[in-house]
Amino acid sequence: MTEYLDANALAGALSEVFSVDLTSSWRRCSVCGHTGAFAELHVYTDCPGQVARCPSCQTVVLRLVRSGDTLWLDLGGTGCLRVELR
Amino acid sequence: MPGHWRPAVLVGARAESPTARTLVLKAEEGWPGHRPGQHVDVRLTAEDGYTAQRSYSLAAPAVGDTVEITVQRVPGGEVSPYLVDEMAEGDRLEVRGPLGGWFVWDPASTDPVALFGGGAGVVPLMCMVRARRAARSRALFRLVYSVRAPDGLLYRAELRERAPGDAGLDVFLAYTRTAPEGTPRAPARVGVADVNTHGLPAEFGPMCFVCGPTGFVEAVADALVALGHDPGRIRTERFGASGGPR
């Protein structure tokens, strides 16, 4: 089994794009309905970029690839996020 | 903004074990403060412009613009051997952060807290212990610290000789390979019995923070759920194979 990290590990990369911390947001999966913290996503790094999957149904939630000063961000499986604006 | 890189200079360092070192870094353009449990990204740039970056947990509450990280040397690693063995006072690197708002303890909370650290996973938990002391919090704290052998213990003196502000903090050391003579518990990985005996009962409704290598985090989180803890009160931070969160 490939080891995975928590989505806490994405906080730095996401902070380059978003001005609020997405990892502490709450997420509902559009595929399986699972709810939980964004930080609980499973993050795989044994690949050219980083891939985050739903901890419940393993749907690909987010893909992030960096090439020099260009960042590719696929948020296709994000579902619904609730972000606290402090 | 946490998103930008801040220049930082090494102003102090302490050896914590034969393979780990605490770096005291001063953010030269200021530091906004951080919450216990947060991490930073560290970026090194070589003379030819090559960069390497890693994540490290903050080990202590900030003092002004000064922050601490504790780095465990990863054999053959690209970044940690430099940070542990070579970086000298006055040398510079860049930090980005503070990062992550989920694996954090709120010093204003009076809820009981159970902390489980595997190896260098104790670092963000130590930040919580130190923040508790600094805030004069009386929240009940239990720390279960899993370590391979006595010489790998981080923060040895501070955990053994509890500071006056640490009343209400209990520490249990679980050795996995070699234990000092006379230790009643035979060396073994942390299992459900350890979590049951040395954590806090589920009925107390503690916040549980679990940090360490993936296997450790899985074992402890599964044990907590099996013992009836609310999965919504269990927060985890897994370390990558490289030995630190990435």
Of A3, A12, A19, the CB nearest to B55: A12
CA–CA distance, B200 with B114 (Å, rounded to integer): 6
Contact in structure between A31 and A59 (CB atoms under 8 Å): yes
| Residues contacting B53, CB < 8 A, separation 6+ | A12, B41, B42, B43, B44, B79
The mean per-residue pLDDT over the stretch B9-15 comes to 98
What's the pLDDT at A86?
72
One domain for residues B118 and B147: yes
One domain for residues B18 and B120: no
Residues spanned by the domain of B202: 113-239
CATH number, domain with residue B200? 3.40.50.80
One domain for residues B232 and B178: yes
CATH number, domain with residue B55? 2.40.30.10
Supply the pTM of this predicted model: 0.94
pLDDT, one tens digit per residue, over A14-45 is 999 999 999 999 999 999 999 999 999 999 98
Work out how many domains chain B is built from and give that number. 2
Question: Which tokens hold the place of B8?
Answer: 């930082």
- Smallest CA-to-CA distance from B235 within B34, B35, B72, B37 is with B37
The answer to whether residue B244 is domain-embedded is no
One domain for residues B42 and B140: no
One domain for residues B154 and B67: no
The answer to whether residue B21 is domain-embedded is yes
**What's the gap in Å between the CA of B53 and the closest CA on chain A?**
10
CB pairs < 8 Å spanning A and B = 67
Contact in structure between A18 and B102 (CB atoms under 8 Å): no
Chain B residues whose CB is inside 8 A of the A67 CB are none
The answer to whether residue B107 is domain-embedded is no
pLDDT more than 90, % of chain A: 78
Q: Do A15 and B236 touch (CB under 8 A)?
A: no
Probe site for chain B from A1, A2, A6, A44 (most B CB atoms < 10 A): A6
Chain A interface includes B96 (CB < 8 A)? yes
The answer to whether residue B165 is domain-embedded is yes
* Residue spans per domain, chain A: 5-82
One domain for residues B127 and B222: yes
Residue A81, SS3 per DSSP: strand
One domain for residues B186 and B72: no
Last residue of a domain, one of B47, B68, B99: B99
User: Does a cis peptide bond (omega within 30 degrees of 0) precede residue B98?
Assistant: yes
Chain B residues whose CB is inside 8 A of the A39 CB are 100, 102-103, 235
pLDDT, one tens digit per residue, over B31-54 is 999 999 999 999 999 999 999 999
One domain for residues B90 and B22: yes
pLDDT, one tens digit per residue, over B145-183 is 999 999 999 999 999 887 778 889 999 999 999 999 999
What is the tally of helices (H) and strands (E) in chain B?
5, 11
